[in-house]
Amino acid sequence: MNSLVSYDDSDSETDNGSHPLSSEISNAPPMHVVQHQPESDTTVYPTDLGALASSSFGKDFHLKDQYPVPNINYSSTCKGLGNSAMKEAVLPAQKRPPPVTEGGVKPYIPKRLRQEQSNMVAEVEADMAVRSHDHMDHTTRTIYRVSDYLGPHLPLKYSSSGIPKKVIFQMKEHAGPVNRVQWCPEKQYSHLLLSASMDGTCKVWDAVDSGKPLCTVSCHRGAVRDAQWSHCGRRILTGGFDALLHLTDVETGKDLFTAKNECKISAVRFHPCDPNMFICGGFSPAITAHDIRMGKVIHVYKAAVQQHFDLLFLPDGKEFLSTSDCVSRDSADRTIIAWDFATTAKVSNQIFHERYTCPSLALHPKESVFAAQTNGNYIALFSTQRPYKMNKKRRYEGHKVEGFAVGCEFSPDGSLIVTGSSEGNVAFYNYHTSKLIRTLPSHGSACVGASYHRVLPSLLATCYWDGHIQIWE
């Protein structure tokens, strides 16, 4: 009758404890033990199992479950050998019995084998992680690369801004109105275009080489009213009608910062000197300033208004402007308000005195002036120095706004002002003469934003209320 052999769970097969030997050994031919004779030891070990039993080693034999097992001291008998050499020198190689599965008995797996399997699994997981990281880096390199078309223009000095003539890309991926488009501020990555849409997403496009979307940011549960690149061009700040603020890393898609606002958000702006701070405003009398490092609101600016349309930092970052919906029959004394960023005090609220709201603001790249788009179908010009006096000699009119939040912008050299219109046209004004130079044809829907490229002098991006984006050159 066969007996079930019990094995000890140890790292080696020949530990100092007892080892069962199969009954087949007694009927097997005499075993040969590898002879080892170090220089300091002249002992000769027997090569026959019977001789081994009858020699002085026989007294060290004992019975366990009727199986003779030798008790051998490796340190005294095999001097100078390593662990593996000692095992080979004393005992012959043994084959493990086949797995026993009858009666619900699990097969025995040596501890050493289990460790090897565990190490193998760890190596496979590490390899998969490396492959995943390499795939992510490949995607990153695809987005953050130097454009083939843009590359030769990067070392050149920007020439005078031109007026584009034709559409080179028509992009239709958004399912809702596109509120804002902005080129990446980092010149070597300025082929990237950011768009914010009422469909709840933001997209990053290759708007120079292919006109294809490269990635989509879908962290909002409502319409995305505004979005802005960080100074380094690798992060995106977004605010939407779900009252949430998100700072997203474009490379990894991770949400780096999230904050809940009291109301719907209509405008977000990074501080021009400190990339870790930004302001946001919306359907609330309060504007809040956030510090990303602290993860909380650091300043609150309150005004007697119902909502804020747009925000604009002045060049040094010490003051910023806000536009609101506050108008009256005789004047609009709180339509544009200047704030001190550090003290939260109102510097002035008597900047614009006409009975129109201002849906957008734009800062001149070289001179100390800013422009305000008005719902009176014209653009007004103001000084950035106190008391922020309006220039009454220059008024840029000839386009229609009619209630849309139409944006305006200066060209990079400051010679032109470009603006959309509720009719879908794109209008270009001479900054110095305030004359309308040219109008690009209507797309069929209201054009609510236009942005000049910072490297290519005649490249322009426009966005529309029907969700389309056009690239002109």
**Do strands 286-291 and 277-282 pair parallel, antiparallel, or not at all (unpaired)?**
antiparallel
Residues 24-78: pLDDT tens digits? 444 444 444 444 444 444 444 444 444 444 444 444 444 444 444 444 444 444 4
Nearest-angstrom CA–CA distance, 111 and 21: 20
Residues 404-416: pLDDT tens digits? 999 999 999 999 9
252, amino acid identity: T
pLDDT value at residue 251: 87
Asked if 313 and 271 count as a contact pair (C-beta separation under 8 A), the reply is: yes
Nearest-angstrom CA–CA distance, 314 and 363: 8
pLDDT value at residue 38: 43
Tell me the sheet residues that pair with 340. 319
Asked if 411 and 161 count as a contact pair (C-beta separation under 8 A), the reply is: yes
> Residue 272 contacts by C-beta under 8 Å, 6 or more apart in sequence?
313, 315, 316, 317
Nearest-angstrom CA–CA distance, 199 and 223: 6
Nearest-angstrom CA–CA distance, 465 and 473: 21
The separation between CA 351 and the C-alpha centre of its own chain, rounded to angstroms, equals 40
For 248, list phi and psi in degrees, rounded to 5.
-115, 135
pLDDT under 70: residue ranges of the chain: 1-108, 116-117, 120-141, 327-332
Asked if 334 and 347 count as a contact pair (C-beta separation under 8 A), the reply is: no
For 290, list phi and psi in degrees, rounded to 5.
-120, 145
Percent of the chain with pLDDT over 70: 71
Tokens linked to 257: 């910062």
Give the closest residue to 448 by CA, choosing from 429, 415, 425, 472.
Answer: 425
Q: Answer positive or negative: Cα dihedral of 253, 254, 256, 257.
A: positive
